[in-house]
């Protein structure tokens, strides 16, 4: 299967890649263990990222649930990028994708260019849920790379996101991504009020 259409993607200018790096599929790996993940992070082209789901419980109110996965790294983002404004994929070059088809993250390989609306040949939720079996392994890698738990990294990332908003530092965002992020922030301030306080404090110290 090869959906690549370099002519159409060149004309488009890589709109999908300007929004965010594409995500790996579990099926991209013959073996997926800590060593493989460390090696990928060492290439500087991949990050551990997360997808967030907002959940509501009658007792505890709103809460985010995170699913960790691997994704092509975005510009100015680190190897552990659990919660941030999305940004252009760092592997987008003037000649298209840095990765050849064999090494490109699966969600990019399975994206079908179309002049009206590009689409995928897989079920996004199904692919995401396949990462469930690898959550503990990815959390261990996060700890080994940062010395922090995934919860601690997420809070630190949220403080940075708040800080950037308070300082109007989000020009890299597409309009659609900015709207998504802003809608999420309404919940964040209730779920993580301490992060907002900390972002204000850091702003005052400058
Ligand atoms: S897949 Fe679609 S959005 Fe992405 S570069 Fe090609 S034509 Fe543009
Ligand atoms: S890895 Fe390649 S196809 Fe995927 S977003 Fe980056 S440049 Fe685009």
Residue-wise pLDDT tens digits, 134-164: 999 999 999 999 999 999 999 999 898 888 8
Q: Let me know: does 66 contact 48? Beta carbons within 8 Å.
A: no
Token pair, residue 129, equals 């849920």
**Binning pLDDT at 50, 70 and 90, where does residue 176 land?**
low
| 189/48: higher pLDDT | 48
pLDDT at 173: 63
| Total-model pTM | 0.91
Closest residue by Cα to atom 4, ligand 2, is 22
Ligand nearest to the CA of 116: 1
Q: Let me know: does 150 contact 66? Beta carbons within 8 Å.
A: yes
Measure Cα distances from 34 to 50, 86, 182 in Å: 17, 25, 34
The separation between CA 186 and the C-alpha centre of its own chain, rounded to angstroms, equals 20
Q: How far is the CA of 134 from the centre of ligand 1 (A)?
A: 29
Find, among 126, 125, 96, 116, the residue nearest to 108 by Cα.
Answer: 96
pLDDT at 59: 67
pLDDT tens per residue, range 27-53: 999 999 999 999 999 999 999 999 988
pLDDT at 6: 92
Residue 42, Cβ density class (10 Å: 0-12 exposed, 13-18 middle, ≥19 buried): exposed
| 108/179: higher pLDDT | 108
> In a mutational test of the pocket of ligand 1, which residue from 3, 11, 12 has the highest number of ligand atoms less than 8 Å from its CB?
12
Q: Average pLDDT, whole number, for the chain?
A: 90
* Nearest atom (ligand 2) to Cα of 92: 7
pLDDT at 206: 60
Q: How far is the CA of 97 from the centre of ligand 1 (A)?
A: 11
pLDDT at 53: 82
């Amino acid at each position: 299967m090869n959906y690549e259409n370099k002519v159409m993607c060149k004309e488009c200018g890589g709109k999908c890649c300007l929004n965010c790096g594409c995500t790996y599929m579990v099926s991209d790996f013959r073996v997926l263990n800590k060593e493989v993940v460390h090696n990928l992070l060492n290439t500087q082209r991949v990050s551990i990222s997360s997808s967030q789901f907002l959940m509501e419980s009658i007792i505890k109110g709103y809460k985010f649930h995170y699913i960790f996965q691997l994704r092509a790294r975005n510009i100015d983002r680190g190897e552990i990028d659990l919660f941030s404004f999305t940004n252009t994929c760092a592997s987008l070059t003037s000649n298209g994708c840095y990765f050849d088809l064999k090494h490109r993250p699966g969600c990019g390989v399975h994206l079908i260019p179309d002049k009206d609306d590009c689409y995928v040949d897989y079920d996004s939720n199904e692919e995401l849920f396949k990462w469930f079996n690898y959550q503990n392994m990815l959390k261990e890698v996060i700890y080994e790379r940062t010395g922090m738990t995934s919860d601690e990294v997420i809070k630190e990332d949220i403080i940075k996101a708040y800080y950037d908003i308070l300082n109007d530092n989000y020009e890299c965002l597409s309009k659609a991504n900015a709207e998504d992020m802003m809608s999420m922030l309404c919940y964040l301030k209730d779920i993580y009020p301490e992060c907002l306080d900390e972002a204000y404090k850091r702003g005052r110290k400058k």
